Structure 1
């Protein structure tokens, strides 16, 4: 980035949590835990919970995974959310240049993940399942990837704006990782399934989740395929039974990672943050459901695993079991994040896009590497050109609905909308990424969002972002303050 310092290690890690993409989550699977926690902070998720419960006969609200509630939840997701296939994502959202990801994340992890995705798609082709919508070989050959961003429920809802003027526009647009995190999030507040029992197994190419409570289990292989225990047994028992190992492997080839609310384990030699006893428990749950030991657990038996402290404790996770609203979740996460902002609890507040976080430079760092932002900034040769780009944003409402939450620059550009705080962040990002503005001028820039409005201090003048006109000073208690210096905060 032109004349802009590289983010500090802390800011970089938090910026990944703010808007995690496929490569972020493949490199750091804990980000799927972060997404689940951020979902629980959303009023929209709890509203969907109430809608689902309203469709269930009160006498059928058995809080078990095989209950009517579970089936209604999965049918609700299937009816109201559209699964986006890779080339649809490429068309609607864009393409990611993998060299940019190597520069940010390192060549070894990016090349390893690219090879895993290549193998995953090759497997689909050999099985006769590679439709044009799934065929990413052409973009991988160009060292690119569909621009997958894994979203909270609010981000998924915003994605429906890209579906045009369909008669029945979906409530949200998902990919498999979204379906795994959304299903897990909803199940915990619909059933009282404890976060300590949340378990996902998958690979960078596909994620699935197993729900478990009181010995009852339900496997969600992504929209629209779900299995209760009886359904899986019908598939794998009887005279025409399919082989359970082959059936799992066909759906989740090359599974190499376990994700729990305690932490994660990837079969690449990294230490496990899932405690050994919890890993054994999840293995037993999977054996009880599938009737076999899953391939990644078989692989695990032949590896020496180092265990390090988990990302969250049972005591911490159990505190979520009794919460009854998004507001209560937000309060608890704020408390848990206070002792460690780089914990999954701290990162969840960035994923939720809370403007009151301690290191808002994470938002700026994320914006400055956004492909859409970087492209738009190439056309900005000065302040007036940046202001003109802001004027062309059609909508004036944030996709997150409140000024206390902030949209990234690429989101404002993609969805063509943003409130004054969103627009202020986009404006600052455009100016900082512009090749036509000198370093001294960039160092003088400061964005200030207050309860009264959002203002950009350019050193010699102050702009009111709402009107894009000059003003005297920012007024009111400060919600957010951003400058280049925030990128290097330790």
Structure 2
């Protein structure tokens, strides 16, 4: 079973989960490797590069460059105001209660510092950030939420855009997780290493190819090779590489690799010494300076922790030849790491599905909606109003959280059952309902037990008993 502190950040992570558990990025990357969408994009990338190379062997540089171009063409990066418009806001009091004051306040300190620095530098106009800064002061934060590439693609529907080139909407965390997954699908030997340079305000990917050439994927619209970086430093920062880096990512405080995270502020690390030293050397060679953020960490005693349990899988998956190979490695495994990836993927084929219910109970929009309901019939009316029965993931074997079902106005019988379950629980806590509440997944239908009766979540029909064998029970 997945440890309680971790599973919530794997199922439906937000920006504060990513700060509290930076290794969750590894699970997002691995869950992307389980998606056919990632491999379809990979085939397009390799096909285009091979065509341009004609008879020659495609270079690692051209593969990395094409990944960045594809992401820039196909995904829309959301700015702060757009995040609020699409996903709403996070209640900071609830986050402090869930994760602790220290975690939330530390993340806010870094984010607000970055917002203020970007306003001072003129990189972002005050009117673009000041409303968010004001709302943070009032206890609300833009609801940056992260997920597998299939959720990123589904979120496109929320924008109302139908242009074929917009295949999803992203944050920097999404872009880094998709970029890293695509890089891992390139031919074995093309990519040697990928790490994330991370802070609460920004996440990017740094790495080097099999031939040793380094690169920095700053975001979907910006990729630096060494000569690009030197040109930026020379032309815009009078040769000051540290100043150039600080202009882009001054608050970088974590380096995340396959082994886990090196926290540059505390010097707590999952990374083996030789691996971290190699990363530092590559970064110093690329950026032209030992970054002060790294130098500070090197001056402290290191607090060594074991590698993340997913590390051994990620090393094997670098250069994985096919989706089938990934499924063979992760899909049937029962250890903590592989089950964690399946939670991030939202698979219902889990050893223990109870974590989905635990996360669903904390979904803020479903809880607020339940506060407006008076009877169970009101909850059934909510289900009846959602007439789109398609899965946002494209599969009934994957489950959406209640807030997603409400946001998309779409869901399978399983998605709707989970939504009805938590609405009924919140309602019962306020007005009382007779008997137990449980969600029951059968082979072709899903049911919610409400005391001595059952609701067919797909049709809304009330039943006295169920004739189908039950495969999964959530209670």
What is the distance in 1 between the residues matched to 2:61 and 2:327? 29
In the alignment, does 2:207 pair up with 1:211? yes
Once the two structures are TM-superposed, the CA of residue 238 in structure 1 deviates from its matched residue by 7.8
Gaps of 5+ in 1: 1-7, 484-490
What is the distance in 1 between the residues matched to 2:186 and 2:423? 42
Residue deviations 1:154-185, cap 9 Å, x none?
01101100111454561000011111111111
In the alignment, does 2:287 pair up with 1:290? yes
Residue number in structure 2 paired with 1:308: 305
Stretch deviating more after TM superposition (316-325 or 432-441): 432-441
Q: Secondary structure at the match of 1:145?
A: strand
Higher RCO, 1 vs 2 (CA within 8 Å, ≥6 residues apart): 1
Residue number in structure 2 paired with 1:413: 406
What is the distance in 2 between the residues matched to 1:160 and 1:388? 27
- Indicate if the aligned counterparts of 2:264 and 2:297 stay in contact, CA closer than 8 A: yes
What is the distance in 2 between the residues matched to 1:320 and 1:462? 44
What is the distance in 1 between the residues matched to 2:139 and 2:162? 33
- Judged with a 3 Å threshold, the aligned counterparts in structure 2 of structure 1 residues 177 and 108 are, in CA distance, closer, same or farther, namely same
Once the two structures are TM-superposed, the CA of residue 463 in structure 1 deviates from its matched residue by 1.5
Once the two structures are TM-superposed, the CA of residue 431 in structure 1 deviates from its matched residue by 0.9
Q: Secondary structure at the match of 1:221?
A: strand
- Judged with a 3 Å threshold, the aligned counterparts in structure 2 of structure 1 residues 335 and 451 are, in CA distance, closer, same or farther, namely closer
What is the distance in 2 between the residues matched to 1:183 and 1:35? 11
- Judged with a 3 Å threshold, the aligned counterparts in structure 2 of structure 1 residues 440 and 185 are, in CA distance, closer, same or farther, namely same
Stretch deviating more after TM superposition (125-134 or 346-355): 125-134
Residue number in structure 1 paired with 2:11: 18
Residue number in structure 2 paired with 1:174: 170
In the alignment, does 2:128 pair up with 1:133? yes
What is the distance in 1 between the residues matched to 2:236 and 2:76? 36
- Judged with a 3 Å threshold, the aligned counterparts in structure 2 of structure 1 residues 294 and 478 are, in CA distance, closer, same or farther, namely farther
What is the distance in 2 between the residues matched to 1:425 and 1:375? 16
Equivalences for residues 236-385 of structure 1 within 5 A: 236-237=233-234, 241-269=238-266, 271-312=268-309, 315-321=312-318, 323-336=320-333, 338-339=334-335, 341=336, 343=337, 345-385=338-378
Once the two structures are TM-superposed, the CA of residue 143 in structure 1 deviates from its matched residue by 1.6
- RMSD (Å), alpha carbons: 2.4
Residue number in structure 2 paired with 1:102: 96
In the alignment, does 2:105 pair up with 1:111? yes
What is the distance in 1 between the residues matched to 2:110 and 2:417? 39
In the alignment, does 2:461 pair up with 1:469? yes
Q: Secondary structure at the match of 1:199?
A: strand
Give TM-score scaled by structure 2 length: 0.93
Give TM-score scaled by structure 1 length: 0.90
Stretch deviating more after TM superposition (164-173 or 182-191): 164-173
What is the distance in 2 between the residues matched to 1:227 and 1:385? 54
What is the distance in 2 between the residues matched to 1:203 and 1:17? 18
Aligned counterpart in structure 1 of residue 220 of structure 2, from 215, 219, 223? 223
Q: Secondary structure at the match of 1:200?
A: strand
- Judged with a 3 Å threshold, the aligned counterparts in structure 2 of structure 1 residues 315 and 388 are, in CA distance, closer, same or farther, namely closer
What is the distance in 2 between the residues matched to 1:460 and 1:239? 71
Once the two structures are TM-superposed, the CA of residue 322 in structure 1 deviates from its matched residue by 5.3
In the alignment, does 2:49 pair up with 1:56? yes
- Judged with a 3 Å threshold, the aligned counterparts in structure 2 of structure 1 residues 303 and 140 are, in CA distance, closer, same or farther, namely same
- Indicate if the aligned counterparts of 1:64 and 1:191 stay in contact, CA closer than 8 A: no
Residue deviations 1:279-334, cap 9 Å, x none?
11111111121121123211112211111211147654332135333333133124
Once the two structures are TM-superposed, the CA of residue 235 in structure 1 deviates from its matched residue by 2.4
Q: Secondary structure at the match of 2:153?
A: helix
Q: Secondary structure at the match of 1:456?
A: strand
Once the two structures are TM-superposed, the CA of residue 475 in structure 1 deviates from its matched residue by 4.6
- Judged with a 3 Å threshold, the aligned counterparts in structure 2 of structure 1 residues 290 and 364 are, in CA distance, closer, same or farther, namely same
Q: Secondary structure at the match of 1:204?
A: coil
